[in-house]
Amino acid sequence: MKAVSPDLDWKGAQVPVSKQFDDPYYSLENGLKEAQHVFLAANGLPDRFQDGLSIAELGFGAGLNFLTTLQAWQRSGQEGQLQFASFEAYPLTQADLIRALQPFDIIAPLAQELVDGWSDLLRTGQWKSGDVNLSLNIGDARITLPRWKGRANCWYLDGFSPAKNPELWEADLLSEVFFHTENEGTATTYTAAGYVRRNLEDAGFWVERAEGYGRKRHMTVARKGSKDAE
């Protein structure tokens, strides 16, 4: 599939907003802190870092979740390999990627590395920084995820809001997420929408609500395996 880059607006000149989905790519308050709360901490990271850990994501966007994870991995001093697979239908242009990541000083060197490797990543689907291997699966996740050979220990479910981007939260896709999750794996998302929670439960996950980030009261944590497992 030929990748189509998204048309963007910019909120406060800093946060990309998809014109197609009429939704921002991350929290208007602080996208990086949101990534740390919703995707790292709620998946038990960095405590669960170990050689060979596999993280997967629906919606790569500007790569903020990825870069936040990469930075945490490097800071943890963990040895070995981290696999990060992301699924994205509409990859940003390099110019939009630069603009989106520019406000996040704390990850600037890693962001620069990603920007420098962006056209290669779009061409090959692969990118590496130290021991962290990123694979970007370009295309509609409803098509690319069923073909994926991997299984993740942690999932970042980061589509646009379920009301605006329902295709990234539908039952069949979340069943594929469950299938592509290791036992005792987890999946987290910023949304606590009933439709999403039900689809995760129907897929086979144990589902809980947790404290949300910023103005969101609740978010969702899903676990594969026995209910009481840590």
Ligand X SMILES: C[S@@+](CC[C@H](N)C(=O)[O-])C[C@H]1O[C@@H](n2cnc3c(N)ncnc32)[C@H](O)[C@@H]1O
Which residues pair with residue 136 across a beta bridge?
Answer: 86
Alpha carbon distance 25, 178 (integer Å) = 24
Closest to ligand X by CB, 140 or 225: 140
List interacting residues with ligand X (CB under 6 A).
6, 25-26, 59-65, 87-90, 140-142, 158-160, 165, 167-168
Closest to ligand X by CB, 106 or 229: 106
Pairing mode, strands 206-211 and 218-223: antiparallel
Q: Provide CB contacts within 8 A for 51, sequence distance 6+.
A: 78, 79, 80, 81
Closest to ligand X by CB, 49 or 60: 60
CB of 25 to ligand X, least distance (A): 4
Closest to ligand X by CB, 25 or 84: 25
Q: How many C-beta neighbours within 10 Å does residue 128 have?
A: 13
Alpha carbon distance 108, 98 (integer Å) = 10
CB of 92 to ligand X, least distance (A): 7
How many Å from the N-terminal Cα to the C-terminal Cα in the chain?
40
CB of 168 to ligand X, least distance (A): 5
CB of 71 to ligand X, least distance (A): 13
